[in-house]
Amino acid sequence: MALLKIVTYPEKSLSMPSDKVETIDDGVKQLIRDMGETMFQESGIGLAAPQVGVNKRILVYDARAQNPDDDGPEQQIIALINPKIIQASGSQVSENEGCLSVVDFRADVKRYEQVTVQAKDMDGNPMEFEADGLMAVIMQHEIDHLDGILFIDRISTLKRTMYKKKRLKQLKEETIS
C-alpha cells in the first residue's frame, strides 16, 4: 500500500465532477486500499478519490462511523463505488465540519438528517443503505466531492470569501519561503 498526496483547495480538479467507474479491476482495488491508508494516516473519517487527484466516483470511509460504540477493528475501511443519494429527508447542522482538502478551516454546514445511498461495493455487488447522523454527513460530504462540490460551497458567501483570501495568502507565503 502507498500513501497518496491529498489535493487541497484551490486545486481546480476539486471542482470537477468525477467519472463513473465502469470496471472494478485490480487498479481500482489498489486505489481503494491506498485511499484507506491515506485517510487513516491523515486522521480522516472519509475520503473521495478526487481528493487524491483521481477523477473517479469512489469514496472510502471509516467503518467505525456506522457504529461508533462498536469495538471492532480499529482500521477498517468501507468503499463505495459510483455512490449516489437517492433519497434525503430532515435537516441538521453538521457542526464544525472539516475536510482534508480544505486546509485550516471548519464551519457549520446544513445537511440532510437522513439519506439513502445506492452504490457498489469493492466486489461490484449493488448495495443500498440508509444513513443518519454522522453517517449521513459523511455520505453527503464525500458524494459532494464526487460532484465537484466542497463543503465551503455550502456556507455563506462571506465566510467562503474570507477563507479563500486566507488560503491564497497562505499559499503565497509558502511560495515565498
- Tell which residue, 97, 95, 96, 132, has the closest CA to residue 112: 132
Q: Which CA distances in Å does 104 have to 70, 90, 98, 167?
A: 30, 29, 8, 9
Residues 6+ apart with CB under 8 A from 126: 118, 119, 120
User: Which set of grid coordinates corresponds to residue 91?
Assistant: 435537516
Q: What are phi and psi of 105, to 5 degrees?
A: -150, 140
> Whose grid coordinates read 480499529?
74
Is 22 tagged catalytic?
no
Q: Which of 37, 42, 113, 142 is catalytic?
A: 142
Residues 6+ apart with CB under 8 A from 156: none
Residues marked active site are found at 142
